[in-house]
Chain A
Amino acid sequence: MHMALITLLAVAEETAKAGKSIGLGVGGGLGAVGAGVGIGIIFGKVIEGITRQPEMRDEITAIQWLGFALTEACFFYGLVAGLLAAFIV
Chain B
Amino acid sequence: MSAATIEGGSAKKPRFSTKQKLLAILAIYILGLVAIVIATGANGTRNNSFEPQNEFKLENWVHLGVFSINKAVMYLVIAATLTCVSMIYIARRMQQRPNRVQTAVETIYQLMRENIVAGNMDEKMARRWFPFIGTLFLFILFSNLIGYIPLPTNTEHKIDVLGVHLPAFSLYAATANLSIPLALALVVFIAYTTEGIRAKGPIGYLKSLVPAGVTGGMAVFIFGLEILSNLMRLMSLSIRLFANILAGHLIILFMAGALAVLLGIAALGWFTLPFGILLFAFEVGLVAALQAFIFATLTAIYLGGAVADHH
Which residue, of B236, B243, B244, B297, has the highest number of chain A Cβ atoms within 10 A? B243
B247 engages A79 (CB within 8 Å): yes
Main secondary structure of the interface of A (DSSP, over half): helix
Cβ of B306 to closest chain A Cβ, rounded Å = 19
Contact with A along B235-246 (1 / 0, CB 8 A): 010011001100
Number of interface residues of A (CB under 8 A): 12
14 CB < 8 A contacts A-B = A62-B115, A65-B293, A66-B297, A68-B290, A69-B291, A69-B293, A69-B294, A72-B244, A73-B243, A73-B244, A73-B294, A77-B236, A77-B239, A80-B239
User: Is B290 touching A69 in the complex (CB atoms < 8 A)?
Assistant: yes
CB nearest neighbor in A for B119: A62
Q: Complex: how many Å from CA A77 to CA B294?
A: 16
Q: Could you say which residues of chain B place their CB within 8 Å of the CB of A76?
A: 239-240, 243-244, 247
A70 lies within 8 A of chain B by Cβ: yes
> Considering the chains assembled together, what is the distance between the CA atoms of A70 and B236 in angstroms?
10
Q: Which of B276-309 contact A (CB under 8 A)?
A: 290-291, 293-294, 297
Cα-based distance from A29 to B19 in the complex (angstroms) = 37
CA distance A76 to B181 in the complex (A): 15
Residues of B within 8 A of A68 (CB): 290
Write out the residue numbers on chain A whose beta carbons fall within 8 Å of the beta carbon of B291: 69
Residues of B with Cβ closer than 8 Å to A?
A: 115, 236, 239-240, 243-244, 247, 290-291, 293-294, 297
**Residues of B with C-beta under 8 A to A73:** 236, 239-240, 243-244, 294
How far in angstroms is the closest Cβ of chain A from B265?
22
Render A31-67 as a binary contact track against B, CB cut-off 8 A, 1 for contact.
0000000000000000000000000000000100110
How far, in Å, is B288 (CB) from chain A's closest CB? 12
- List 19 additional A-B contacts (Cβ < 8 Å) besides A73-B243, A73-B294, A76-B243: A62-B115, A65-B293, A66-B293, A66-B297, A69-B240, A69-B290, A69-B291, A70-B294, A72-B244, A73-B236, A73-B240, A76-B239, A76-B240, A76-B244, A76-B247, A77-B239, A79-B247, A80-B239, A80-B243
Q: How far is the CA of A79 from the CA of B244 in the complex (A)?
A: 11
Give Cα A62 to B294, complex, Å.
Answer: 11
* C-alpha spacing A73/B239, complex, angstroms: 8
Report Cα–Cα, A29/B30, bound state, in Å. Answer: 31
Determine the residue in chain B with the shortest Cβ distance to A62.
B115
A65 and B239 within 8 A (CB): no
Q: Smallest Cβ distance from B5 to chain A, in angstroms? A: 37
Q: Which residues of B contact A66 (CB under 8 A)?
A: 293-294, 297
List A contacts of B115 (CB < 8 A).
62
Given A62-B115, A73-B236: A79 and B294 within 8 A (CB)? no
C-alpha spacing A66/B120, complex, angstroms = 13
In the assembled complex, the Cα of A66 lies from the Cα of B293 at a distance in Å of 8
Top-4 shortest CB links A-B:
A76-B243, A73-B240, A69-B294, A69-B290
Bound Cα distance from A56 to B150, whole angstroms: 41
A65 touches B243 (CB 8 A): no
Complex Cα gap A70–B298 (Å) = 10
Q: How far is the CA of A73 from the CA of B290 in the complex (A)?
A: 12
Closest to B241 in A: A73
CA distance A86 to B52 in the complex (A): 17
Nearest Cβ on chain B to A43's Cβ, whole angstroms: 14
